[in-house]
Chain A
Amino acid sequence: MDIILNLLPHLVNGLALGLLFALIALGFMLIVGVMELINLAHGSLFALGAYFAMSIIDPNLTYFGTFGEWYSGLSLTLRYVVALALAPALVAVVGMGLEICMRRTYGKKAEYGLLLTYGAALVIEETIRIVWGSAEQVMPIPDAVSGAFMAGGMIYSNYRFFAAGFGLLMIFVVWLFLEKTPYGATIKAGAHDSEMVRALGVNLTRLRLLVFGLGASLSAVAGIILTPIWGLRPHVGVDVVIPAFLIIVVGGIGSFWGAVIAGVMVGLVVAFSGAYVSEWSMMSMYLLLIAVITFRTRGLFGKKSSLEL
């Protein structure tokens, strides 16, 4: 009984962390599942989203006169909500620009697309450095979700639970979109047999543009939600893209629930190893990946994919 009580806080932390990891992987999963394209710029778009949001929440509006004064007078919660809506839209535009560049690599080896996004990641990161500087920054959060509470002798931060709940919500929304709407059906069909879908009169070029925009905006949402927990620095992208990557591979490319379950697994593994061998906790997820892939080539729920060739 004691053991269970001791493990419980880690279980709760791990679940919350896992939902956040799943949230990070969501946009990545959409792009890799539909377009069979590894988007290494995912982490940089994540960081870009967070920086945009920070600038929207706490802008430097001296040039905007009365509008600036009116906007600065709004409550923090309201500005936070505005940022949560506006920043992903801006990042979606950036993502769409990247997709238009990417078109030249379609039909070539998968590595070309991957390398192109690697270059894009470098460019976005350096641009962030130029615009916002290299120093670590803090994003303000509304009072409603800050603070902490006690339960069973452990202190939990409110924001973590807000973030985990938000992750759950986003997972649900994306699932609804993919499974219960005609758009989702078209997207999945496009992933399954693009030639057939095109023959049916669907504009696949536009569909891909939209999917990439959507994936980019999801990574921006993840960035905004996670920044208060992880901090904001220009190279946060690398810290993010690797877990995202790992979760997709563990879950299996092209599987929605695979990504969610793998996210939670990674969260639990990191939380438990963090409790007992804290120095090495971030490495445990690589060991998890190696263990899973050694026994299941395509991850837990993966299907055959053209990326293997």
Chain B
Amino acid sequence: MKSSFAVSTPVITKPMLVLFAVLGTFPLWGTSVGLYNYLGVEIVVWIIYALGFNMLLGYTGLPSFGHGAYFGVGAYAYSLSYLNVFESVWAGILFGSIAGGVAAGLVACFLSHRRGIYFALMTIAFGQVFWFVSIKWHTLTGGEDGLLNVYRGTVSVVGADISLKSNETLFYFAFAILVAVTLLLWRIVHSPYGKALQAIRMSEMRAGFVGYNVWLMKWSVFTLSGIVAGLAGSIFAIAQESAYPDVMSLHASGFIVMMTLIGGGFVSFWGPVIGAIVFFVARDFLGSLTETWLLWYGLMFMGVMLFKPEGIAGAWQDFMKRRATPKPSKEPVAGE
């Protein structure tokens, strides 16, 4: 899959710089090509979410179909802390990330000795439980309306107070967090721990025989992706100035799976990034042409699953490989 023989992986790579350069300058060029700053915020939030999710799906091979729960818990925790405890953005984000991690960690206790389809089914069940609680526990979550009036505050970064009122500053704020998350996850993926996660994906039994504590690995990666989802959820709550149950529904949880797979999370670290961008641009582009853009997105997803399950990143890798070797060689293709 990835450059598996490199002794040490660079902390910053070329694709990373390209991504940061293109995305980081979004407010400068976005409006002139017909996009808008809020779209940039949304894309950044979902990229963070999808990168964390791909630790689970792409690297460890564990499909979670109820991940919206931890995103939603993060959003609620941010809003609750901001409204009731400290009126501080940093405290809210910290609180949201921890809440996402705690929720995922608790659920992972029930999940970590499950495999395959039973794992997937249990994630759905737990995801629905969280969604249900968020709708029914009016006193805490505000029911179906959710928590409102979580106005964007000011955030102090190295002594300077920055107001997040405008979408532009919020974008830069979210982007800075994205950079930090990307660097961190990249490092984790290329650490011995990350290699062990990939070993679990390839064969859980063999990874166990080699001596890894598979249960603990699965538990920790689920919790990690819950923390990242909670973080993304907190930023989402800032952007929306509210938290509501919709993001925890089965549909929203399905979207994150679709994004990650269309982009090519199974074969590339950057798959989820591509997938999230494609999803939102498709939503805006197709949405402006037809009201039923989901039909076309669903068809696109089916097409990807049928003809190129490795997604856009997989197609790109094939293309580069074909360019590098003009004659198709008969070497056996490595699994997955």
Contacts and interface: CB of A to CB of B under 8 A. Distances in A.
Interface of A: 38, 101, 104-105, 108, 110-112, 114-116, 118-120, 122-123, 125-127, 129-130, 238, 242, 245-246, 249, 253, 279-280, 282-283, 286-287, 289-290, 293-294, 297-298, 305, 307-309
B116 A110 contact: yes
Given A101-B306, A238-B250, A126 B120 contact: no
A119 B110 CA distance: 28
Contact of A114 (B120, B126, B294): B120
Interface stretch (B165-173, B218-226, B297-305): B297-305
Given A245-B121, A282-B132, 17 more contacts: A38-B117, A112-B305, A112-B309, A114-B63, A115-B257, A122-B298, A126-B292, A127-B295, A129-B292, A242-B128, A246-B121, A249-B118, A253-B117, A283-B129, A286-B132, A297-B114, A307-B118
Nearest to B307: A104
B259 to A, nearest CB: 12
A249 B302 contact: no
B322 interface: no
Contacts of A118: 254, 257-258, 301
B251 A238 contact: yes
A307 B261 contact: no
A101 B302 contact: yes
B117 A308 contact: yes
A35 B287 CA distance: 37
Interface residues of B, number: 36
Interface of B: 63, 110, 114-118, 120-122, 124-126, 128-129, 132-133, 136, 250-251, 254, 257-258, 261, 292, 294-295, 297-299, 301-302, 305-307, 309
Nearest to B304: A119
Nearest to A288: B125
Contacts of A238: 250-251
Contacts of A115: 257-258, 261, 301, 305
A129 to B, nearest CB: 6
